[in-house]
Amino acid sequence: MRFLIDFFPIGLFVAAYKLHDIYTATAVLMVATLVQTGIIYTIDRKLQTLHKVTLVLVIIFGALTLFLQDERFIKWKPTVLYASMAIVLGAALWVWKKNFLQILLGSQLTLPDAVWARLTVIWIGYFLFMAAINAYVAAYFSTEFWVNFKLWGYAFPLIFIVGQGLYISRYLKDEDGAEKS
């Protein structure tokens, strides 16, 4: 169910683009992201920072796209989001000596501090990769290709999450408290 909630704004964006144009799709994305945020808030009674940042960036970049009639703004929004996440995680880890990933997920996962640090570096790398690949596609390919990339590009997060799960699974403790081998 959560995957559908996360996916529906981009699904509607792609459908609106295919049926109309990038500007209609941008308006649909803005409304769908507002609805998505409302649904998440209704279910969880709170919003994670990522949801708030995503909503703000979609509204700002979407409004700029519509007001200036320049599709480059909406195309570069994912790059700004991913790069920002990498910068925040990196600054927290290396400058402020805080592990935001551990702070956010530590109540759900018990992992050694060294694993949390490596996991955070892996997330930083993932966010930088996603920022770079979106920037490349946005800069060097047509809008049609970029919109299609937004759809099939969902393979990257799925592969990343599976890989991350495989990585951390060996550090998780079983129900008896012993590490799995």
Q: Give per-residue pLDDT as tens, 122-174.
A: 999 999 999 999 999 999 999 999 999 998 888 899 899 999 999 999 988 75
How high is the pLDDT of residue 180? 53
Domain stops at, among 49, 68, 87: 68
How high is the pLDDT of residue 177? 53
Do residues 83 and 3 both lie within one domain? no
Q: Spell out the alpha helix ranges (H) of 45-175.
A: 49-68, 72-94, 100-105, 113-140, 143-152, 155-169
Is 154 within 8 Å of 10 (Cβ atoms)? Answer: yes
Do residues 76 and 162 both lie within one domain? yes
118 φ/ψ sector (left φ>0, alpha ψ -120 to 50, else beta)? alpha
d(CA 32, CA 95): 36
pTM for the model: 0.87
How high is the pLDDT of residue 153? 86
Do residues 102 and 180 both lie within one domain? yes
Do residues 126 and 82 both lie within one domain? yes
- Number of structural domains (the chain) is 2
Q: What is the DSSP letter of 154?
A: T
How high is the pLDDT of residue 75? 97
Long-range CB contact pairs, 7-12, < 8 A, 24+? 7/154, 8/32, 8/36, 9/33, 9/35, 9/36, 9/58, 10/150, 10/151, 10/154, 11/151
List of residues 6+ apart from 9 with CB closer than 8 A: 29, 32, 33, 35, 36, 58
Residue numbers in the chain where pLDDT is lower than 70 = 174-181
Do residues 91 and 176 both lie within one domain? yes
151: domain range? 71-181
Do residues 3 and 86 both lie within one domain? no
How high is the pLDDT of residue 6? 85
Do residues 19 and 55 both lie within one domain? yes
Do residues 89 and 61 both lie within one domain? no
Do residues 48 and 131 both lie within one domain? no
